Amino acid sequence: MSSIKQYTNIFLAHSAAIDAHSAPVLNALRPAALRALENARMPRKGDEDLEATDLNEMFAPDYGVNINRVNLTADPAEAFRCDVPNMSTSPYYFFNDIYHHEAESLASRSDGVIVSSLCKAAIDYPELVARHYAKIAPLGNAQVALNTLLAQDGIFVYVPRNVALERTLQLVNIMNVAQPVMAVRRILVVLEEGAQARMLVCDHTQSREVQCLSNQVIEISLGEGATFDFYDLEATATTSRRASSMWVRQAAGSNLLVDGITLSNGSTRNRYHIEVDGEHAETHLLGMAIASGTQHVDNHTFIGHNVGYCHSNELFKYVLDDRATGAFAGKILVASNAPRVEAYQSNRNVCASSEAKMFTKPQLEIYTDDVKCSHGATVGQLDQDALFYMRTRGIPEHDARTLLMQAFMSDVIGGVRIDALKDRLQHLVEKRFAGAMADCGECAACIKGKR
């Protein structure tokens, strides 16, 4: 049985229960998703000409799905504290794929901002959610179709025209399972013309002995002149599997920053697909991964410049140790009617051991001459001359290697546009390279997981 077939069988056997615990707007897309999956399959190793993640293998285990929305008995105010020091956030939580919020919902704000459960928003604001849900992420993508088929909830963020959210939205995903489970989450973000917001998403694992899978789809719609920062931090256990895909549409003059950070994991496949549809839009796509042991990190990116006079900058860096593997496939497309585009892509990698492996494929596809574009990739080892120099100055080899790896990641961290978060990430990266568990330090869930 294919990895998709087992889940379509679950849907066919329990479709009434799935619909009953969700909202009509979400339910309306399930038949189309089921049709899209009839002849679909998850990508397998060898489908792409690099060592990418075998999604068919990732989804193949018999994961349970929380169809009846069984709740976890946990107090998010006491059990999970992942706040960034000196940064005021509005915290929201998923325990597996069950939504919780600590603070009062923003749905009642007089300025029209909505931050709430996607299911609840689809009931309270059906026309608004229906206008954007599954309109950016295509059902032709098998992972998106499976997520659309089974997703019963998620988080909905809506910022009206010319409204700026002062506090960063923080979404904390905690996987806590007693048996193999697939969490199906959907994130839908809509910023109208001139709106501004920032969002930090943190993935953690509380139960570290049981294999679990996160199936996450993110849709982001940015109106003219909107500004949005999205920071995605994964610090999970080696038993965690993650398939996350982000789909974005940018209107004219919008400004997008996406920074994806993998500090620890089991196997991860991140997909970033950005369509730039308006002139003078600006796109910053950054990512970094630190992997050791047998961990695997795969980032697959696409930026499509469909109009001219836009700018994009893409930078991904990996540090791989032991027998870890990494993969990067990045493509920038500039359409024939898109003059004066500036687009830059770079992938830089360090293999800190002889057994670590990195596979990289940067691509430019350009159909007009009036552009400034570049791309490149490097795979190497730590600078031996610098390492020797530091050792001659009395720095132990382990400390010298740690310092060099920290310096290697500095420009990715430097792209963060929140000073408190930048400092926090620097601290977490230092801990990771020093050999400590890559967790959030003060998070009670992570502290408990280390006992």
140-193 residue pLDDT tens: 999 999 999 999 999 999 999 999 999 999 999 999 888 999 999 999 999 999
More confident residue, 1 or 448: 1
Least confident of 47-51, 266-270, 314-318, 342-346: 47-51
The pair of structure tokens assigned to 3 is 């990895």
Average pLDDT over residues 404-425: 89
- Report pLDDT for 365: 96
Instruction: Give the closest residue to 72 by CA, choosing from 178, 151, 156, 187.
Output: 178
pLDDT digit string (tens) for 124-141? 999 999 999 999 999 999
pLDDT of residue 386: 74
Burial bucket for residue 147 (CB in 10 Å: 0-12, 13-18, 19+): buried
Please state the rounded mean pLDDT for residues 93-110: 71
Taking a C-beta distance cutoff of 8 angstroms, is the pair 148, 67 a contact? no
What sign does the CA torsion over 348, 354, 359, 362 have? positive
User: Does 388 score more than 80 pLDDT?
Assistant: no
Q: Give Dmax (Cα) for the chain.
A: 70
What is the rounded average pLDDT of the residues 374-388? 82
Looking at residues 218-242, what average pLDDT do you find?
96
What gap in Å lies between CA 298 and CA 262, rounded to an integer?
A: 10
Regarding beta strands 89-95 and 98-101, do their DSSP bridges make them parallel or antiparallel, or are they unpaired? antiparallel
Q: Looking at the predicted structure, is the pLDDT value of residue 400 above 80?
A: no
Q: Give me 151's structure tokens.
A: 């997703």
| SS3 assignment for the chain | CCCCHHHHHHHHHHHHHHHHCCCHHHHCCHHHHHHHHCCCCCCCCCCCCCCCCCHHHHHCCCCECCCCCCCCCCCHHHHCCCCCCCCCEEEEEEECCEEEECCCCHHHCCCCCEEEEHHHHHHHCHHHHHHHCCCCCCCCCHHHHHHHHHCCCEEEEEECCCCECCCEEEEEEEECCCCCEEEEEEEEEEECCCCEEEEEEEEEECCCCCCEEEEEEEEEEECCCCEEEEEEEEECCCCEEEEEEEEEEECCCCEEEEEEEEEECCEEEEEEEEEECCCCCEEEEEEEEEECCCCEEEEEEEEEECCCCCEEEEEEEEEECCCCEEEEEEEEEECCCCCCEEEEEEEEEEECCCCCEEEEEEEEEECCCCEEEEEEEEEECCCHHHHHHHHHCCCCHHHHHHHHHHHHCHHHHHCCCCHHHHHHHHHHHHHHHCCCCCCCCCCHHHHHHHC
- Per-residue pLDDT averaged across 427-442, rounded? 67
Which of 44-53, 211-220, 289-298, 308-317 has the least mean pLDDT? 44-53
Higher pLDDT, 254 or 409: 254
In degrees, to the nearest 5, what angle opens at C-alpha 106 toward C-alphas 102 and 107?
Answer: 125
Confidence check: pLDDT of 405 > 90: no
Top mean-pLDDT range of 90-94, 194-198, 366-370, 374-378:
194-198
Q: Output 185 or 383, whichever has higher pLDDT.
A: 185
Give pLDDT, residue 178. 85
Residue 392 has pLDDT above 80, yes or no: no
| Strand partners for 229 | 198, 257
- Structure token pair of residue 280: 């003078």
Q: What percent of the chain has pLDDT over 90?
A: 70
**Comparing 92 with 84, which gets the higher pLDDT?**
92
447, pLDDT greater than 70: no
pLDDT on residue 83: 58
Least confident of 303-307, 398-402, 435-439: 435-439
Instruction: Answer yes or no: pTM beyond 0.85.
Output: yes
Please say whether the beta carbons of 341 and 333 come within 8 A: no
pLDDT at 389: 64
Region of poorest pLDDT, from 49-58, 351-360, 371-380: 49-58
With a pLDDT cut of 70, the percent of the chain lying above it is 89
Lowest mean pLDDT among 84-93, 267-276, 302-311, 363-372: 84-93
Q: What is the mean pLDDT of the chain?
A: 89
Who wins on pLDDT, 198 or 444? 198
